[in-house]
């Protein structure tokens, strides 16, 4: 091998890649780079997982130290909450109340979602409306629990809500 030989003219390259056209070699190079990137991400995630498992093991040991009879398998995993990309903290609940105050009739979660989309200046596509509907329904449940709003029958889209 002559020093400075690179790429397709390098015998090691030809041994590894065979006879590929220039276009195929670019594709293969890109795919290899992407595979290497994903393999690196997997390694990082595995290290993080090992660290988390070690932390859980330490906590299990501390729990057993203070309460030897505690059933650790009864502890359910608490999944992290995903923040809604449309609202800041408390904004959805405030907007739901504003919409219900201005409404002339009780509104369902679907109708609330449409009104929230208009207020936020968002397009009314299903990709936007569905997460807004879920957020509105969550806000409605919290407000019902506080006694601020109450069910008021139903419309074609489900249970309708009104201000108490």
pLDDT, tens only, 118-144: 998 988 888 888 989 999 999 999 999
pLDDT score of 154 more than 90 = no
Residue 140 phi/psi, 5-degree rounding, is: -60, -45
Model pTM score? 0.53
Q: Which two tokens stand for residue 162?
A: 């009104």
Q: Considering just the CA atoms, what is the radius of gyration of the chain in Å?
A: 28
Binned at pLDDT 50, 70 and 90, residue 164 comes out as confident
- In DSSP terms, 159 is beta-bridged to 154
Place of tokens 């957020």: 135
pLDDT, tens only, 24-81: 788 888 999 999 999 999 999 999 999 999 999 999 999 999 999 999 999 999 988 7
**Contacts (Cβ under 8 Å, ≥6 apart) of 156:** none
Q: What are the domain boundaries of the chain?
A: 1-79, 91-163
Place of tokens 């729990």: 63
Residue 33 phi/psi, 5-degree rounding, is: -60, -40
Give the pLDDT confidence score for residue 82 in this predicted structure.
75
Q: Which two tokens stand for residue 111?
A: 């109708």
At the top level of CATH, which class does the domain 91-163 belong to?
mainly alpha
Binned at pLDDT 50, 70 and 90, residue 10 comes out as low
């Amino acid at each position: 091998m002559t020093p400075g030989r690179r790429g397709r003219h390098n015998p090691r390259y030809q041994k590894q890649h065979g006879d590929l056209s220039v276009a195929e070699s670019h594709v293969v190079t890109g795919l290899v780079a992407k595979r290497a990137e994903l393999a690196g991400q997997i390694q990082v995630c595995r290290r993080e997982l090992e660290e988390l498992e070690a932390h859980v093991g330490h906590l299990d040991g501390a729990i057993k130290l203070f309460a030897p009879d505690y059933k650790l398998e009864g502890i359910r995993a608490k999944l992290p909450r995903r923040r809604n990309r449309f609202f800041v903290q408390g904004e959805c609940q405030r907007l739901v109340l504003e919409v219900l105050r201005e409404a002339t009739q009780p509104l369902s979660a679907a109708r609330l979602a449409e009104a929230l989309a208009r207020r936020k200046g968002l397009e009314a596509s299903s990709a936007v409306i569905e997460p807004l509907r879920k957020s509105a329904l969550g806000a409605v449940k919290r407000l019902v629990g506080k006694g601020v709003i109450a069910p008021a029958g139903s419309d074609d889209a489900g249970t309708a809500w009104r201000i108490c």
